[in-house]
Amino acid sequence: MNSPAKNILVTGAAGFVGFHVAKRLLEKGRQVTGIDNLNEYYSLELKSERLEELKKLPGFSFIKQDLCDAPALHDLVDREKFDAVVHLAAQAGVRYSLENPAAYVDSNMVGTFNVLEACRRINVGHLVYASSSSVYGLNSAMPYAVHNNVDHPVSLYAATKKSGELMAHSYAHLFRFPITGLRFFTVYGPWGRPDMAYFKFARAIMLGEPLPLYAGGHLKRDYTYIDDIVSGVLAVIDHPATPDEEWSSENPNPASSTAPYRLYNIGAGKPQSTREMLALLEKELGREAIIEELPMQPGDVESTWADIESLKRDVGYEPTTELRDGLREFVSWFRKHYLDSGRDIPKA
Q: What is the CATH number of the domain that holds 75?
A: 3.40.50.720
Rounded-to-integer distance, Cα 270 and Cα 137, Å: 18
Rounded-to-integer distance, Cα 115 and Cα 14, Å: 17
Rounded-to-integer distance, Cα 187 and Cα 196, Å: 9
Is pLDDT at 2 greater than 70 in this prediction? no
Q: Is residue 297 part of a domain?
A: yes
Whether the Cβ atoms of residue 184 and residue 146 lie closer than 8 Å to each other: no
Instruction: Give the 3-state secondary structure of the chain.
Output: CCCCCCEEEEECCCCHHHHHHHHHHHHCCCEEEEEECCCCCCCHHHHHHHHHHHHCCCCEEEEECCCCCHHHHHHHHHHHCCCEEEECCCCCCCCHHHHCHHHHHHHHHHHHHHHHHHHHHHCCCEEEEEEEHHHHCCCCCCCECCCCCCCCCCCHHHHHHHHHHHHHHHHHHHHCCCEEEEEECCEECCCCCCCCHHHHHHHHHHHCCEEEEEHHHCCEECCEEHHHHHHHHHHHHCCCCCCCCCCCCCCCCCCCCCCCEEEEEECCCCCEEHHHHHHHHHHHHCCCCEEEEECCCCCCCCECCECCHHHHHHHCCCCCCCHHHHHHHHHHHHHHHHHCCCCCCCCC
Is pLDDT at 7 greater than 90 in this prediction? yes
66-110 residue pLDDT tens: 999 999 999 999 999 999 999 999 998 877 888 889 999 999 999
Q: Is residue 160 part of a domain?
A: yes
Domain span at residue 140?
7-339
* pTM: predicted TM-score of the whole model, two decimal places: 0.96
Q: Is residue 2 part of a domain?
A: no
168-200 residue pLDDT tens: 999 999 999 999 999 999 999 999 999 999 999
The active-site residue, picked from 42, 157, 171, 223, is 157
Q: Is residue 73 part of a domain?
A: yes
Is pLDDT at 268 greater than 60 in this prediction? yes
Q: Is residue 121 part of a domain?
A: yes
Whether the Cβ atoms of residue 292 and residue 210 lie closer than 8 Å to each other: yes
Q: How confident is the model at residue 1 (pLDDT cuts 50, 70, 90)?
A: very low
Q: Is residue 347 part of a domain?
A: no
Q: Is residue 159 part of a domain?
A: yes
> Total structural domains in the chain?
1
Is pLDDT at 132 greater than 80 in this prediction? yes
Q: Is residue 240 part of a domain?
A: yes
The predicted pLDDT at position 300 comes to 83
User: Is 157 an annotated catalytic residue?
Assistant: yes
Q: How confident is the model at residue 265 (pLDDT cuts 50, 70, 90)?
A: very high
